[in-house]
């Protein structure tokens, strides 16, 4: 693992992990510029941003997988992190049961496996083949594996990609439940503000730098957020704020202001 400036420096107080003025470069390319953030115990923080905005890079820098060019990273001494990367390296065609998968790379007891499967709503499904799982079930198993290390901080890189909206909403409810049961903080990445709204305490809007941050409601009205995601026909916000305040029953012709799609 590369030597990081400030990596492993322990934090005073309760804060789990923090970045101060962090820059990350790939060659001459500065992918992350002047990033400062922190995550406190029990918080659910969501990073939002368009493709290529540096979201995955930020998580990887926080984990110490890639070096930071400037700034410093700090984490609580002995912090246990459960990480689910955006791209999986498991071969989906390889026959392997859920139970076996949970024991990779670290063997776990049957009791621990049963417990964690129950926690993610997959009780009794340890004998299933990984290849037969639906997208939502697979995400639950990945979360289960991350939970086996009893993390104080979960880092999830787009955990709901590939899920439909009900699947996504159910997964975020599960994350909240896990936070409630285990007290773990969650730092996750998503593309959709409207679905993370309910499940996030704080949102960080990223585009190489931090454009804006705050509660989901504050971020949703921030001009920087609007500039990044737009409020036009496809805007996530337009979907979220979608309200039918006009009547359809009266039969009178009326003007519709449909600024959104029924996605």
Ligand X SMILES: Nc1ncnc2c1ncn2[C@@H]1O[C@H](COP(=O)(O)OP(=O)(O)OP(=O)(O)O)[C@@H](O)[C@H]1O
Q: If binding is defined by CB under 6 A, does position 207 make contact with ligand X?
A: no
Scanning residues 75 to 94, which ones bind Mg ion (CB under 5 A)? Answer: 86
Q: If binding is defined by CB under 6 A, does position 162 make contact with ligand X?
A: no
Q: Cβ(27)–Cβ(36) under 8 Å?
A: no
Which of Mg ion, ligand X, none does 51 bind, CB closer than 5 to 8 A by kind?
A: ligand X
Which of Mg ion, ligand X, none does 200 bind, CB closer than 5 to 8 A by kind?
A: none
Q: If binding is defined by CB under 6 A, does position 152 make contact with ligand X?
A: no
Helix (H) or strand (E) holding 110, with range, is helix 110-119
Helix (H) or strand (E) holding 118, with range, is helix 110-119
Q: How far is the CB of 35 from Mg ion (least distance, A)?
A: 15
Among 46, 57, 137, 152, binds ligand X (CB under 6 A): 57
Which of ligand X, Mg ion, none does 57 bind, CB closer than 5 to 8 A by kind?
A: ligand X
Contacts of residue 135, defined as CB under 8 A and 6 or more positions apart, other chains included, come to 162, 163, 167
Q: If binding is defined by CB under 6 A, does position 33 make contact with ligand X?
A: no
Size of the site for ligand X (CB under 6 A): 11
Q: What is the DSSP string of 179-247?
A: HHHH--EEEEEES-HHHHGGG-SEEEEESSSEEEEESHHHHHH-HHHHHHH-SSTT-HHHHHT----S-
Q: Name the segment binding ligand X (CB under 6 A); options: 49-57, 72-80, 131-139, 194-202.
A: 49-57
Residue nearest to Mg ion (CB): 56
**Exposure of 262 by Cβ count < 10 A (0-12 exposed, 13-18 middle, 19+ buried)?**
exposed
Q: If binding is defined by CB under 6 A, does position 86 make contact with ligand X?
A: yes
Contacts of residue 229, defined as CB under 8 A and 6 or more positions apart, other chains included, come to 48, 50, 193, 235, 236, 237
Q: If binding is defined by CB under 5 A, does position 56 make contact with Mg ion?
A: yes
Q: Where on the phi/psi map is residue 25: left (φ > 0), alpha (ψ -120 to 50), or beta?
A: beta
Size of the site for Mg ion (CB under 5 A): 3
Which of Mg ion, ligand X, none does 246 bind, CB closer than 5 to 8 A by kind?
A: none
Binding site for Mg ion (CB under 5 A): 55-56, 86
Binding site for ligand X (CB under 6 A): 26, 31, 49, 51-57, 86
């Amino acid at each position: 693992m590369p030597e990081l400036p400030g990596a492993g420096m322990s934090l005073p107080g309760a804060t789990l992990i923090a970045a101060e003025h962090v820059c990350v470069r790939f060659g001459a390319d500065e992918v992350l510029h002047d990033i400062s953030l922190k995550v406190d115990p029990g918080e659910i923080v969501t990073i939002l941003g368009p493709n290529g905005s540096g979201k995955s890079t930020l998580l990887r820098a926080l984990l110490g997988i890639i070096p930071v060019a400037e700034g410093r990273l700090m984490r609580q001494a002995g912090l246990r992190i459960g990480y689910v990367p955006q791209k999986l390296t498991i071969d989906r065609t390889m026959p392997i049961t859920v139970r076996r998968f949970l024991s990779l790379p670290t063997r776990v007891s049957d009791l621990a496996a049963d417990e964690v499967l129950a926690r993610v709503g997959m009780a009794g499904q340890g004998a299933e083949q990984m290849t037969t799982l639906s997208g939502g079930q697979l995400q639950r198993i990945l979360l289960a594996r991350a939970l086996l290390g009893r993390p104080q901080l979960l880092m999830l890189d787009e955990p709901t990609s590939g899920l439909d909206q009900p699947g996504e909403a159910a997964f975020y409810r599960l994350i909240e439940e896990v936070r409630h049961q285990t007290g773990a903080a969650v730092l996750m990445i998503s593309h959709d503000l409207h679905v993370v709204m309910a499940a996030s305490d704080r949102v960080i809007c990223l585009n190489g730098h931090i454009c804006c941050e705050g509660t989901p409601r504050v971020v949703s009205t921030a001009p920087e957020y609007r500039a990044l995601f737009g409020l036009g026909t496809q805007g996530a916000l337009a979907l979220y704020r979608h309200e039918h305040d006009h009547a359809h029953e009266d039969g009178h012709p009326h003007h519709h202001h449909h600024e959104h799609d029924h996605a």
